[in-house]
Structure 1
Amino acid sequence: MLRWFIVISFICFSLISKVQGFVDEKLFNLGVRSGDPSKEGFVLWTRINEEEIADRNNLPVKVKLQVYEDEQCSLLAKEVDLETSEREDFTVKSDVTGLNPKSIYYYRFKYGADQYSRTGRAKTLPGPDYNGPIRLLVLTCQNKNTGDFNLYNKLALDAWADKIDYVYFSGDEVYEYESYDYECGCCCARRPRAFQLPSEQPSAINYKDFRAIRHEYLKDKKLQDFYASIPVISIHDDHEIANNWYGNQNSETKRAVIPGRVYKGMDHEQIAEDGLRAFELYTPIRCSEEKVGQTNRKKYFRSFLFGQTAKFLVTDSRSFRDGPDKDIDDPEKTMLGQEQLGWFMKELADWREYGLTVWGNQTMFERFSRCPVSCGKTRGLLNVDQWDGYQAEQDMIRQAMLSGPGSQNRMVWLEGDMHTYQQNHTVATSKEGHVLAKALGLMTPAVTSPGFKEEIGCCGQSSCVMSLFSKLCLCTNRNIKHFDADIHGYLLVTLNKDHVDWQVYDVSIDWLPEDAMQNLKHKCKGSYRYIKGKVKKLPTTK
Structure 2
Amino acid sequence: MNNINRRQVLRAGSSLAVVTGAALAGGTAEARTVAPFAHGVASGDPLPDSVLLWTRVTPTADAVPGSGRGPQVRVRWEVARDEGFTALVARGDTVTGPDRDHTVKVDVTGLAPDSWYFFRFHWQGATSPVGRTRTAPAPGSPVQRLRFGVVSCANLQAGHFAAYRHLAARDDLDLVVHLGDYLYEYEAQADAVRPHDPPVEITTLEHYRRRHAQYKSDPDLQALHARSPFAVTWDDHESANDAWSGGAENHTEPDEGLWTDRRAASQQAYSEWMPVRYEPGGQLYRRLTFGALAELSMLDLRTYRSEQAAHPFDRGIHDPERTITGEEQLRWLTSGLVTANAQWKFVGNPVMIAPVQFPSTLSTREIAALTELLGPIEGVPYNGDQWDGYTADRAEVFQALRDHGVRDTVFLTGDIHSGWAAELPADPLTYPLNRQSVGTELVCTSVTSDNLDEILGVAPRTASLAVESAIRLANPHIKYLDFDSHGFSVLEVTPAAVRMDWFRLADRTDPASAATVTASALVRAGTQRIARTQEGLQ
TM-score using structure 1 length: 0.82
Distance in 2 (alpha carbons) for counterparts of 1:43 and 1:258: 31
**Could you say which residue in structure 1 is the equivalent of 2:267?**
276
Whole-Å separation in 1 of the counterparts to 2:39 and 2:454: 31
Among 23, 29, 41, the alignment partner of 1:32 is 41
Q: Is 1:345 aligned to residue 334 of structure 2? A: yes
Quote how far apart the aligned CAs of 1:193 are.
Answer: 3.1
Larger Rg: 1
AA at the equivalent of 2:392: A
Q: Please give the alpha-carbon distance, in whole angstroms, between the structure 2 residues aligned to 1:347 and 1:171.
A: 22
Give the superposition deviation at 1:215: 1.1
Alignment of 1:312-461 (within 5 A): 312-324=296-308, 327-351=316-340, 353-371=341-359, 380-404=380-404, 407=405, 409-428=407-426, 433-457=433-457, 460-461=458-459
When residues 377 and 130 of structure 1 are mapped into structure 2, their CA distance, relative to the original with a 3 A threshold, is closer
Name the SS for the 1:494 alignment partner. Answer: strand
Matched AA of 1:77:
V
What secondary structure sits across from 1:155 in the alignment? Answer: helix
Tell me which residue corresponds to 2:494. 496
Query: Which residue among 265, 280, 294 is the counterpart of 1:310?
Result: 294
Moved over 6 A (4+): 376-379, 429-432
When residues 463 and 153 of structure 1 are mapped into structure 2, their CA distance, relative to the original with a 3 A threshold, is closer
Equivalent pairs counted in the alignment come to 478
In structure 2, the CA distance between the partners of 1:30 and 1:355, relative to structure 1 (3 Å rule), is: same
Asked if 1:87 corresponds to 2:121, the answer is no
1:68–1:77 Cα contact (<8 Å) kept = yes
Deviations 1:20-79 (A, max 9, x none): 98245610110101011111121100011143599x999420010100110112111100
The answer to whether the 8 Å contact 2:70/2:98 transfers is no
3-state SS, counterpart of residue 461 of structure 1: coil
> Would you say the 8 A contact 1:137–1:491 is kept in 2?
yes
Counterparts of 2:523 and 2:74, CA distance in 1 = 50
Where 2:53 maps in the other structure, the secondary structure is strand
Match of 1:523 in 2: 516
Report the AA paired with residue 281 of structure 1. E
Quote how far apart the aligned CAs of 1:490 are: 1.3
Counterpart for residue 226 of structure 1: 224
Partner of 1:536: 531
Q: Which residue does the alignment assign to 2:367? A: none
Q: Distance in 2 between matches of 1:331 and 1:477?
A: 25
Give the match's secondary structure for 1:303.
strand
Correspondence list, 1:255-270, <5 A: 256-260=246-250, 264-265=254-255, 266-270=257-261
Letter in 1 for 2:342: Y
What is residue 283 of structure 2 aligned with on the other side? 299
**Contact 1:42 1:124 survives alignment (8 Å):** yes
- Verify the 8 A CA contact 1:23 1:118 in the aligned structure 2: no
Deviations 1:243-272 (A, max 9, x none): 00111xxxxxxxx31224755542111001
Displacement, 1:284?
0.9
CA distance in 2, matches of 1:59, 1:86: 7
The one-letter amino acid of 1:537's match is R
Any idea what the Cα deviations from partners look like across 1:453-500, whole Å, max 9, x if unmatched?
11111xx21633121111112122222111001101111111223421
Distance 1:311 1:28, change over 3 A: same
- For 1:126 and 1:521, how far apart are their aligned partners in 2? 33
| Pairing of 1:460-479 with structure 2 (within 5 A) | 460-461=458-459, 463-479=461-477
SS in 2 for 1:277: helix
276, 292, 307: which one aligns with 1:285: 276
Shift in CA distance, 455/104, structure 1 to aligned 2, threshold 3 Å: same
For the 8 Å contact 1:310–1:497, the answer to whether it is kept is no
Matches within 5 A, 1:202-213: 203-213=201-211
Which residue of structure 1 aligns with residue 135 of structure 2? 124
- In the alignment, is the contact (CA less than 8 A) between 2:240 and 2:251 conserved in 1? no
Q: CA deviation at 1:509?
A: 4.0
Gaps of 5+ in 1: 1-19, 182-189, 248-255, 290-296
Tell me the amino acid that sits aligned with residue 396 of structure 1. E
| Structure 2 unaligned residues grouped into runs of 5+ | 1-12, 18-33, 311-315, 362-375
C-alpha separation in 2, matches of 1:90 and 1:369: 48
Q: Secondary structure at the match of 2:485?
A: coil
Tell me the C-alpha RMSD between the 2 structures.
Answer: 2.7
